[in-house]
């Protein structure tokens, strides 16, 4: 009897809290749980795949835009790659650089004499550079990387092997991670924490997020920093679009929608980029990503924007609902918590519900953490680093919260004004406010100053 | 206290004005809609609360009468569900009236920079009707569950089932009002590289 009362009480308590947390639970925690098991299964399946011995010729495209500082490191990583050099064809496509990138290229040519490199000049814009290189490429597979990152020695080989293993796959995205040495050399404590969070975020975004999407051929965007195509597939597309700020998502949509091509993640092909430079950069970069998603949806999804059919049958609409539509009730939810305190709700109730949600988010971060650790098995140094930073699973919900607001800013700001590569940073926005307020109070300030002078006299 | 509220209101108007002039759309949207919500809660909500509660119970009562499942005493915002020999009474309170949801939607809409004023007026009316109907249907569903399964189901029906139902309809409304229209009207192209060159 007592047991029954106890169980009933627990059920009532659970239902009571469920009411508070039901929305984030359905939206994020349950999918994280499902994804965990799917990725667990995939990791075992992958281990059994046979590795083909021969690989084919690849064309490596590197768009260059004021890359003088990073180009040498990038080319060094290509040189250190274990892909057979005789099967490589490297195209560096300059698109309007104003620095001495070309001189750096010439020095690298002398240094890495065995690397077959060609320099091309295109008009401004990464898309134009990529398109020009595509027309000049000879390889069976086309790989493009950004000039400000570094390839892992096995990356190209693993991508080519994956293409050979899976004939149904036409496009592959590599795994982009931020450079852990640079993260650890950061001086400021807060910035280091943000960069570590960013590293975790990249790990999760590729090794959990895209890895999971890859299982259902529903990758939303190939990485703009490192991805690869079968030449036969990419040349049938409309190539890289020059109108949008997000040519990587645009080409992904083309492959999905027009050509019904298989898009997958090559989870053992790593590419390292620099961690985020500053808070301002994070603020503008995430807004640009969000804007890209909206622009590409405008190009491809207009006919499919229905809530029931679209949501059920089209993963792109689903992603849009998660990123765009849910942002609005989420905003209400966050502010409602503050208002509830004013409405005389017990503060303990509000705080406990925030606490429960935080713990649930941390739990889903923990599930991702386990997944990511499994997929970092081939890169032991990164795996060790990632493992040692386990405590970040408790910090990431906070980081994601901040990123949510930045992306929300991206949604609202993309409605008005021209698309700019350089969205205004927080510092610039703050300066604008200061100037406006100073202007407004210019007259009263002058009056007060005049009065003071009078009184003093 | 009233002076404080009025000062807060003036400061809010000034902040919105500054944010408009500086073109900081996101901050205008956030501070604008949250501020408006706050002032509506303060001054408008007490006025519309009672009529809204009565309207919701009256409309839910129409459905109850039609299916002969429960009676509505809308003057008191109460629904009576006869169950065997007893009756379960449901009071439509502050949370059930949907006043918060209606105001939250309206506040976001008025500061969402996609529509012009006429469009906002029309969409606001439609949104109001949708939220009101969704709320009436939610209450009808809760009453139906109680009618068939008794008082034990109340907690589940009210806190979980009703909430998910209402939330789904709200998401559909938000999808059409905020997401779909935005995607369709989004401008693409003619972006700037930040150094003055425009790429058409």
For A346, B65, B90, B139, B152, the CA distances from B146, given in Å and listed in that order, are: 29, 15, 10, 11, 8
For B148-162, how does the pLDDT look when each residue is reduced to its tens digit (9 = 90+)? 888 778 877 887 788
CB contact under 8 A, A419 and B23: no
Higher model confidence: residue A14 or residue A439?
A439
Is the pLDDT at B81 greater than 50? The verdict is yes
How do the domains of chain B map onto residue ranges?
Answer: 48-185
For A313-369, how does the pLDDT look when each residue is reduced to its tens digit (9 = 90+)? 888 888 899 899 989 988 887 887 777 777 777 788 778 878 888 888 899 899 999
What chain B residue is nearest to A243 in terms of C-alpha separation?
B189
Query: How far, in Å, CA of A167 to CA of A388, rounded?
Result: 38
Determine contact: A153 vs chain B, CB below 8 A: no
Determine contact: A332 vs chain B, CB below 8 A: yes
Query: How far, in Å, CA of A194 to CA of A180, rounded?
Result: 13
Give the A:B interface size as CB pairs under 8 Å: 149
- In this structure, is residue A436 part of a structural domain? yes
Write out chain A residues lying below 8 Å of B25, CB-based. Answer: 412-413, 415-417
Is the pLDDT at A421 greater than 60? The verdict is no
CB contact under 8 A, A415 and B174: no
Is the pLDDT at B8 greater than 90? The verdict is yes
Predicted confidence at residue B71, as pLDDT, reads 84
For A436, A440, A441, A446, B21, the CA distances from A450, given in Å and listed in that order, are: 22, 17, 14, 6, 28
Q: Which of B185, B186, B192 sits opposite A421 (nearest CB)?
A: B192
What chain A residue is nearest to B197 in terms of C-alpha separation?
A124
ipTM here = 0.89
Residues 49-78 of chain B with CB under 8 A from chain A are none
- In this structure, is residue A444 part of a structural domain? yes
Query: How far, in Å, CA of B31 to CA of B46, rounded?
Result: 22
What chain B residue is nearest to A319 in terms of C-alpha separation?
B179
Determine contact: A341 vs chain B, CB below 8 A: no
Domain count, chain A: 1
Predicted confidence at residue B138, as pLDDT, reads 92
Is the pLDDT at A306 greater than 50? The verdict is yes
DSSP state at residue A146: -
Percent of all residues in chain B with a pLDDT value above 90, rounded to a whole number: 45
Q: Could you tell me the two tokens for B193?
A: 């590289």
Query: How far, in Å, CA of A203 to CA of A246, rounded?
Result: 21
Residues 421-440 of chain A with CB under 8 A from chain B are 421-422, 429, 432-433, 435-437, 440
Is the pLDDT at A457 greater than 70? The verdict is no
Phi (first) and psi of residue B58, to 5 degrees:
-65, -45
Q: Which of B29, B37, B183 sits opposite A297 (nearest CB)?
A: B183
> Can you tell me whether residue A187 is helix, strand or coil?
coil
The DSSP result for A26-88, as a single string, is: IIIIHHHHHHHHHHHHHHHHHHTPPPPS----EEEEEEESS-HHHHHHHHHHHHT--S-GGGE
A435 is in which domain, residue-wise? Answer: 426-456
- In this structure, is residue A74 part of a structural domain? no
Q: pTM for the full model? A: 0.88
- Extended beta strands in A87-195, E state: 88-94, 117-121, 141-145, 149-151, 169-178
């Amino acid at each position: 009897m007592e047991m029954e009362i106890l169980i009933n009480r627990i059920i009532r308590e659970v239902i009571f809290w469920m009411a508070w947390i039901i929305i984030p639970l359905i939206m994020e925690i349950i999918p994280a749980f499902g994804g965990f098991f799917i990725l667990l299964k995939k990791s075992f399946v992958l281990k059994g795949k046979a590795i083909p011995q021969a690989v084919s010729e690849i064309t490596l495209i590197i768009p260059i835009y004021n890359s003088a500082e990073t180009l040498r490191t990038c080319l060094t990583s290509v040189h250190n790659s274990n892909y057979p050099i005789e099967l490589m064809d490297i195209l560096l496509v300059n698109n309007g650089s104003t620095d001495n990138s070309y001189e750096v290229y010439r020095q690298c040519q002398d240094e890495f004499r065995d690397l077959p490199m060609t320099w091309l000049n295109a008009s401004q814009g990464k898309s134009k550079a990529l398109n020009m290189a595509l027309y000049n490429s000879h390889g069976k597979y086309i790989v493009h990387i950004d000039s400000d990152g570094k390839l892992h020695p096995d990356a190209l080989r693993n991508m080519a092997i994956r293409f050979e293993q899976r004939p149904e796959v036409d496009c592959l995205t590599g795994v982009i991670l931020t450079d852990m040495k640079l993260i650890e050399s950061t001086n400021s404590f807060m910035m280091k924490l943000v960069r570590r969070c960013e590293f975790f975020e990249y790990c999760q975004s590729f090794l959990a997020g895209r890895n999971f999407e890859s299982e259902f051929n529903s990758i939303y965007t190939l990485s703009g920093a490192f991805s690869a195509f079968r030449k036969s597939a990419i040349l049938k597309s409309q190539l890289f679009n020059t109108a949008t700020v997000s040519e990587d998502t645009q080409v992904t949509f083309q492959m999905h929608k027009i050509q019904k091509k298989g898009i997958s993640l090559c989870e053992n092909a790593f590419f390292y980029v620099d961690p985020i430079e500053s808070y301002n950069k994070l603020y503008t970069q995430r807004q640009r990503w969000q804007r890209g998603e909206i622009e590409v949806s405008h190009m491809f999804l207009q006919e499919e924007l229905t809530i029931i059919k679209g949501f059920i049958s089209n993963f792109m609409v689903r992603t849009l609902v998660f990123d765009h539509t849910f942002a609005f009730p989420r905003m209400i939810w966050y502010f409602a918590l503050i208002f509830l305190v004013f409405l005389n709700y017990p503060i303990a109730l509000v705080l406990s519900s925030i606490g429960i949600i935080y713990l649930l988010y941390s739990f889903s971060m923990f599930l991702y953490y386990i997944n990511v650790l499994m997929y970092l098995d081939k890169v032991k140094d990164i795996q060790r680093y990632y493992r040692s930073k386990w405590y970040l699973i408790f910090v990431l919900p906070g980081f994601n919260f901040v990123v949510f607001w930045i992306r929300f800013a991206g949604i609202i700001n993309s409605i008005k004004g021209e698309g700019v590569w350089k969205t205004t940073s927080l510092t610039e926005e703050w300066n604008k406010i200061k100037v406006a307020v100073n202007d407004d109070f210019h007259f009263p300030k002058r009056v007060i100053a005049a009065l003071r002078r009078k009184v003093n006299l | 206290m009233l002076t404080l509220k009025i000062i807060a209101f003036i400061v809010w108007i000034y902040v919105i004005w500054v944010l408009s002039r500086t073109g900081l759309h996101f901050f205008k949207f956030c501070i604008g809609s949250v501020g408006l919500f706050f002032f509506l809660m303060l001054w408008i909500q007490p006025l519309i609360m009672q009529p809204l509660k009565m309207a919701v119970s009256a409309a839910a009562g129409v459905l109850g009468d039609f299916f002969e499942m429960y009676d509505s005493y809308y003057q008191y915002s109460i629904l009576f569900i006869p169950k065997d020999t007893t009756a379960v009474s449901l009071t439509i309170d502050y949370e059930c009236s949907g006043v918060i949801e209606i105001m939250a939607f309206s506040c976001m809409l008025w500061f969402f920079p996609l529509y012009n004023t006429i469009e906002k007026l029309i969409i606001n009316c439609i949104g109001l009707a949708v939220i009101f109907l969704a709320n009436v249907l939610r209450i009808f569903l809760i009453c139906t569950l109680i009618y068939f399964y008794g008082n034990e189901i109340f907690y589940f029906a009210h806190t979980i089932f009703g909430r998910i139902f209402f939330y789904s309809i709200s998401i559909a409304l938000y999808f059409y009002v905020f997401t779909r229209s935005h995607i369709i009207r989004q401008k693409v192209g003619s972006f700037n590289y930040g150094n003055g060159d425009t790429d058409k």
